[in-house]
Structure 1
Amino acid sequence: MGTACAVWSGVGGVGAFIVGAIFFADSMPQMLRLGVLPIACGVAAPRVSS
């Protein structure tokens, strides 16, 4: 249950970042993109490892 909560929190965070960038033309500085990358990797890791 804890893993599911962490994964869906990450999906929501990365999803909000992507929606903001695409639909609302939010700025995407390099450091922000680098900060989102570990979250996306952490969401994908359980899927890849199983």
Structure 2
Amino acid sequence: MHKFDPRSAMDVSPQERTEQYERLWLQGGFAKWLANFYDVMLPGPANEGLRRICAK
């Protein structure tokens, strides 16, 4: 079972944000969405950051 990270992606450093996005991407499945910062599912900078990781 995945739990959202209660923090906003914008509350952490860009490096920490990228590390979390990449770590969850490598796990596969739904972790990149469901275990990530709560705001990756909303329009805005958190979602855009994850989109860039997924596009690599």
TM-score normalised per structure 1: 0.41
TM-score normalised per structure 2: 0.37
Between 1 and 2, higher relative CO (CA 8 Å, sep ≥ 6) is seen in: 1
| Structure exhibiting the larger radius of gyration computed from Cα positions | 1
